[in-house]
Structure 1
Amino acid sequence: MKVSLRRINDNYLFETKNERGDIVLLDNKSEADPKGSSPMDLLLRGIAGCSSIDVVMILKKQQHELEDLRVEVEGFRVDGAIPNVFKKIHLDFILKGDVPPAKAKRAVDLSMKKYCSVAKMLEKAAEISYAVQLNGEKIE
């Protein structure tokens, strides 16, 4: 896996490109009108994407299709800390579809505890928690 980065303006805007040619813009969130995501923002997007891929894959293998899947992720940092790393990350998985609740919960558990590479990396630095909703009902 390889990614390249190049500066594209005279401030903090960068273009990143992977080996397939996918482009993601990075910018400093303190800019008046940022044109891209901040690096820390991308970490939160990464854990949401990684775990969502796992959940869909696990449920597909079990012959269950989701109608919708959303993940809301919040990262918590210590104000003024340098470096200002995430100390806690919380994910809310919001699933919709004809899926048994136990199967939906198990798919999320497997992702977060075993398969999601991003979660496994980030848990070395931050406490990670999550909750699961299926069709508007919280699953315990």
Structure 2
Amino acid sequence: MKINLKRLNNNYHFETKNERGDVVHLDNKSEPDPQGASPMELLLMGIAGCSSIDIVMILKKQQVELEDLQVEVEGTRVDGAIPNVFTGIHLNIFLKGDVSAAKAKRAVDLSLDKYCSVAKMLEKTATITYGITLNEEVIN
């Protein structure tokens, strides 16, 4: 895996590109008009994406097709700490479809406790928690 980064202005706006040519813009969130996500926001996007891929894959193996999957992620950090790592990460996972509560919970548990590489890395500094809403009913 290889990523290239290129500075785009005299401040903190960067363009990153992977080997396939996919582009992600980064910026410092304290800029007046940021032109991309901050690196810490990208970590939260990463855990949302990684766990979502796992959840879909696990349910597909069980021949369950979701109608919709959405995730809200909130990270907490200690103000003024250097480095200012995440100490807590909470994911709210919203699933919609013909799936039992047990299968939904099992897929999320497997993802965040075993398969999601991003979660496994971030759990070294942050307590990772989650809630699951299935068809608009909270199940966890």
- Answer whether TM exceeds 0.5 for this pair: yes
Separation (CA, whole Å) in 2 of partners of 1:58 and 1:8: 40
Identity, in percent, stands at 75
What is aligned with 1:127? 127
TM-score by length of 1: 0.98
Secondary structure in structure 1 of the residue aligned to 2:53:
helix
Structure 1: runs of 5+ lacking an equivalent: none
**Structure 1 counterpart of 2:11, which letter?**
N
Give the drift of 1:106. Answer: 0.3
Unaligned ranges ≥5, structure 2: none
Letter matched to residue 87 of structure 2: K
Structure 1 distance, partners of 2:22, 2:3, is 10
TM-score by length of 2: 0.98
Q: Distance in 2 between matches of 1:70 and 1:86?
A: 22
The aligned residue for residue 105 of structure 2 is 105
Q: Any idea what the Cα deviations from partners look like across 1:43-90, whole Å, max 9, x if unmatched?
A: 000000000000000101111011110000000011111111110000
1:135 to partner: Cα distance = 0.5
Total equivalences in the alignment? 140
**Structure 2 counterpart of 1:70:** 70
The SS at the match of 1:67 is: strand
When the two chains are superposed, the root-mean-square deviation of aligned CA atoms in Å is 0.6
Write the distance in 2 (CA, Å) between the matches of 1:84 and 1:100: 39
- Structure 1 residues 79-136: Cα deviation after superposition (integer angstroms, max 9, x where no partner): 1111111100000100011101100110000000000000000001111111111001
The residue aligned with 2:17 is 17
For 2:66 and 2:101, the matched residues in 1 are separated by: 12
1:29 counterpart SS class: coil
- Measured after TM superposition, the shift of residue 27 of structure 1 is 0.2
SS of the equivalent of 2:74 reads strand
Structure 2: distance between partners of 1:113 and 1:83: 25
Aligned AA (1:82): I
Q: Which runs of 4+ in 1 moved over 3 A?
A: none
d(CA) in 2 for partners of 1:112 and 1:130? 9
Matching residue of 2:31: 31
SS at match of 2:66: coil
Structure 1 residues 87-106: aligned runs within 5 Å: 87-106=87-106
